[in-house]
Structure 1
Amino acid sequence: MKKYHSIVIGAGQSGMPLAKKISAKGFSVALIEKRALGGTCINDGCSPTKTMVASAKVAHMVSRASEFGVEVKGFRVNQKAVRDRKNRIVELFRGGATKGLQKAENLDIIMGEGVFQADKTLLVKRAGQEDLVLQAEKYFINTGSAPNIPPIEGLGECPYLDSTSIMELEETPEHLIVLGGGYIGLEFGQMFSRFGSKVTIMDMAPRLVPKEDEDVCQEISDIFAEEKINTIFNVDVKKAGFQNGYFTLHYQGKKGAATISGSHLLVATGRKPSSEHLGLEAAGVKLGDKGHILVDDNFETNVPGIYALGDVAGSPPFTHMAYHDAHIAFNRIFEENLSLSAQDRLVPYCVFTDPQLARIGWNEQQAKERGIPYKTGKFWMKHAGRALETDETKGFFKVLVDPKNKQIIGATTLSKDGGEIMAVLQMAMVGKVPYDQIQHLPIAHPTLAESLNNLMGQVETNTE
């Protein structure tokens, strides 16, 4: 048995920085990873998907080349080359993460699956090697989440794709059915439509992005319709089958029972916390109803000395929030800085459709539900100089402000580079910059950001 000060289970976007920070304090650390360093973000999530989104954007722009006065005789998408480019980027990022960990002192990287034993020791199962038994004063669990596959009759016998396996395709699907209209489904749906697939997105919700405002939904729906992406809502899939190279889904829709067939099926029905197979029952660690590990403000579980961070602990399911969890946890636990907290923190996010959908703070439907008074402003990209110059005029900026103190309480950016603009508004919120000050700022021309002047000039009293 080998003893460490800290054991970190999972080399994701909480686990890696936390392990390095603890080791830099002079404490011995073991970092346990059963699959690949970097977690979902580097290997299956952010890096590979956005790399493929970039390829799809190039295909889309080439198809529009004549609109810019550029004559292109013809082109084709080489799906294998798209995949290979994605793999090179993943290997680059993973290699950088690995080198950073290897440089850290007092840090052992152990590839294997960690399972808690009843005496709060950790058994590490290693493929083709002898198991290890480890102990530590503190354990940090960062095992993330995994695709959630719904219990649909026959689905388990079908060779369906999930958000990882779809990126390994060497051929462009003839007809891709996307089961699930969430952020993952939207990104892959638009991506493969631009690669040349017929795409149908199906969801049990009544509309796209139901957590966003109705006008956001309508604009995205219009964009997808223009790109000939089919959408079917209020769907209850009853049965799935695969025969002669085609998938068939039997579902109940608005007009009753119906079927749909396609060459490929992507199941993008959300994710679930990876809290199984860790032996948490043996350690006495409590879980929530949906499988998340329950933690307090220090990310500590009900068992002293065992902590959990990121998706598995129920934090907002975004890479940057997992990274922020590690920052907060380290400061609270090792620096005794209790001023940092995950409570009431701003949660930014960006969906990499084209245009990008990004949000920070409240939207209108949330403000109305909570009785929060607000004024709102909205500025359409079709009136933005930079958007017109690049011919990327879909979408709009939208802001909510407090009518009393003029502070921004929320913003949605559905636009070219929407995530970058959202970050500017996030900093304004943190810095408590009143909206009317932004309205009169001399922002460089011609940039997309200068449209924030116009956006703030549109703020009016909400009369609904």
Structure 2
Amino acid sequence: MADTNYDVIIIGSGPGGYVTAIRAAQLGLKTAIVEREHLGGICLNWGCIPTKALLRSAEIMDHANHAKSFGLTLEGTMKADVKDVVARSRGVSARLNGGVGFLMKKNKIDVIWGEAKLKKPGEIVVGKPSKPAVEPQHPVPKGVKGEGTYTAKHIIVATGARPRALPGIEPDGKLIWTYFEAMKPSKMPKSLVVMGSGAIGIEFASFYRSMGVDVTVVELMKNVMPVEDEEISKFARKVLEKRGLKILTEAKVTKVDKASDSITAHVETKDGKTTQIKADNLISAVGVQGNIENLGLEELGVKTDRGCIVIDGYGKTNVPGIYAIGDVAGPPMLAHKAEHEGVICIEKIAGVEGVHPMDHRKIPGCTYCNPQVASVGLSEAKAKEQGRDIRVGRYQFNANGKAIALGEDNGMIKVIFDKKTGELLGAHMVGAEVTELIQGFVVAMNLETTEEELMHTIFPHPTLSEMMKESVLDAYGRVLNA
């Protein structure tokens, strides 16, 4: 008879789930992970990774369209083959999907294939997977366990999230898309409405614009990417509009009429006026919601709030032996937050010394549109709301030699310090490769670095990273190259 008892069972194999499983195995815990559709979860298969593959194709297209400015001449016209662009993206995901399977075997983690439901603390029943929403079920990996009852002292829910739908504007997979359909179009639309300008919406808007699509973004809030610092958001908007995106803020889609091969979006602006925008498709990117249904949580009395599981700083729910991490445990709904949250949870379970709750102020956020946007910590407005006496430093890409040499001189770095203590409160960036640069400030904040230490850090030349130091110097009236 197969062994069905474990120290830890994790429901969901996304970034949070599979990283938690690996850490559990490293700590000597007998571990199993339950998956119903694809190893790696949404991030690897339908989110973070494949979208970056699409955006890489868009980036190369943008560079090719400006080859003349680099002294290069391309013969003929650069064209995008949508089938090949999508195939490359799916291939990247498939490669990493196999990599997760390898990591499970390497760390001796049992994979249980099916849909899990909590029957009582310490016990789950795994049944047949429900029908996947977007494409035929991935082949069941070899060597996995299947349906049955499994027990564990600790059960961690890591079931992720799915696209949120607005009443009356529900995605239909044909004319109204979620990110699933937007990631694998059978043909390139000529025009597109994107509803929502968060990371998902603005990344797809950027991708399709690079592919030559007429794109209109509709955002309910005052600024695009509304979670970002207002100054950075406004800077990004100017660059996006210069690239040809049409952006309507303080506006909402109230209704969508569908024809056989097009949609008409009724858009209401803040002055109460309504305009109609006709397009081939509409992408609904109005956020995501946690996958808390059909898990048995309600029957067990697990507390939830606004569609997410309520946890303490270590992933514990109100029911002993049941934990939650990642998107299903609430915002920010980011893969790297899920991974770190999972490590904290399992290390606390294992009794590792020195484990402390995650500091949400030090979780970086990245948006991979063109221009890229990245941030960590407090925005200028948030710092002022908290009554902080602050210093603000800025540095423009157009004063940096490397950015000019790259032909990527449209961007800005902004830093916010506490005037009294020199504490770095926040960093905000827009421009080329800022999603790679931001981690320098994340490390600095985690080490409680002050402005003095940053000023005395030697940054290599010529690099984009030099702008980070210059922005710090600017906050203290000591900028050198501007």
TM-score bracket, shorter-length normalisation: over 0.9
For 1:15-414, what aligned pairs fall within 5 Å after superposition? 15-72=17-74, 73-105=76-108, 107-117=109-119, 121-127=123-129, 131-152=147-168, 159-253=175-269, 254=271, 256-288=273-305, 290-343=306-359, 346-414=362-430
**Amino acid in the other structure paired with 2:281:** H
1:431 Cα deviation from its structure 2 partner: 2.5
**Amino acid in the other structure paired with 2:78:** F
How many pairs align?
Answer: 459
State the SS of the aligned residue for 1:40.
helix
Matched-pair contact (CA < 8 Å) for 2:218–2:252 = no
Residues 315 and 230 of structure 1, relative CA distance in 2, 3 Å threshold: closer
| TM-score w.r.t. length of structure 2 | 0.90
Matched-pair contact (CA < 8 Å) for 2:171–2:177 = no
State the SS of the aligned residue for 1:6.
strand
Residues 233 and 384 of structure 1, relative CA distance in 2, 3 Å threshold: same
1:332 Cα deviation from its structure 2 partner: 1.2
Residues 29 and 442 of structure 1, relative CA distance in 2, 3 Å threshold: closer
1:63 Cα deviation from its structure 2 partner: 0.5
**Match of residue 438, structure 2, among 422, 425, 428:** 422
Residues 151-183 of structure 1: CA deviation (Å, up to 9, x unaligned): 126766964111122111132110011111111
1:391 Cα deviation from its structure 2 partner: 1.1
Matched-pair contact (CA < 8 Å) for 1:79–1:172 = yes
Residues 393 and 233 of structure 1, relative CA distance in 2, 3 Å threshold: same
Partners in 2 of 1:366 and 1:424 — Cα distance? 21
Give structure 2 stretches of 5+ with no counterpart: 131-144, 478-482
Matched-pair contact (CA < 8 Å) for 2:158–2:325 = yes
1:460 Cα deviation from its structure 2 partner: 4.5
Residues 31 and 102 of structure 1, relative CA distance in 2, 3 Å threshold: same
Matched-pair contact (CA < 8 Å) for 1:143–1:275 = yes
1:436 Cα deviation from its structure 2 partner: 3.6
Residues 76-95 of structure 1: CA deviation (Å, up to 9, x unaligned): 01111110100111111111
1:377 Cα deviation from its structure 2 partner: 0.5
Residues 374-399 of structure 1: CA deviation (Å, up to 9, x unaligned): 10100011111111111101110101
1:190 Cα deviation from its structure 2 partner: 0.7
Residues 201-226 of structure 1: CA deviation (Å, up to 9, x unaligned): 11211221222233212211111111
1:452 aligns with 2:468: yes
Residues 355 and 239 of structure 1, relative CA distance in 2, 3 Å threshold: closer
State the SS of the aligned residue for 1:266.
strand
State the SS of the aligned residue for 1:387.
helix
State the SS of the aligned residue for 2:87.
helix
Give structure 1 stretches of 5+ with no counterpart: none
1:314 Cα deviation from its structure 2 partner: 1.2
**Amino acid in the other structure paired with 1:47:** I
Partners in 1 of 2:447 and 2:146 — Cα distance? 54
Partners in 2 of 1:394 and 1:316 — Cα distance? 28
Name the stretch that deviates more: 54-63 or 443-452.
443-452
Partners in 1 of 2:121 and 2:242 — Cα distance? 60
Partners in 1 of 2:212 and 2:63 — Cα distance? 13
RMSD between aligned residues: 2.1
1:75 Cα deviation from its structure 2 partner: 1.0
**Amino acid in the other structure paired with 2:226:** P
**Amino acid in the other structure paired with 1:214:** E
Partners in 2 of 1:153 and 1:74 — Cα distance? 38
State the SS of the aligned residue for 2:448.
coil
Name the stretch that deviates more: 24-33 or 259-268.
24-33
Partners in 2 of 1:214 and 1:22 — Cα distance? 41
Partners in 1 of 2:85 and 2:396 — Cα distance? 33
Residues 344-402 of structure 1: CA deviation (Å, up to 9, x unaligned): 55111111112211111111011111111210100011111111111101110101112
Residues 111 and 351 of structure 1, relative CA distance in 2, 3 Å threshold: same
Name the counterpart of 2:133.
Answer: none
Residues 100-144 of structure 1: CA deviation (Å, up to 9, x unaligned): 102222x32111111122576312112599841222211000001
1:440 Cα deviation from its structure 2 partner: 4.5
Residues 17 and 119 of structure 1, relative CA distance in 2, 3 Å threshold: closer
1:184 Cα deviation from its structure 2 partner: 0.8
**Match of residue 10, structure 1, among 9, 12, 17:** 12
1:300 Cα deviation from its structure 2 partner: 1.1
Partners in 1 of 2:354 and 2:470 — Cα distance? 40
Partners in 2 of 1:3 and 1:331 — Cα distance? 20
Partners in 1 of 2:246 and 2:29 — Cα distance? 55
State the SS of the aligned residue for 1:409.
strand
**Amino acid in the other structure paired with 1:97:** V
Residues 428-459 of structure 1: CA deviation (Å, up to 9, x unaligned): 22233332443344322111112233212211
Name the stretch that deviates more: 115-124 or 232-241.
115-124
1:416 Cα deviation from its structure 2 partner: 1.1
| TM-score w.r.t. length of structure 1 | 0.94
Residues 301 and 338 of structure 1, relative CA distance in 2, 3 Å threshold: farther
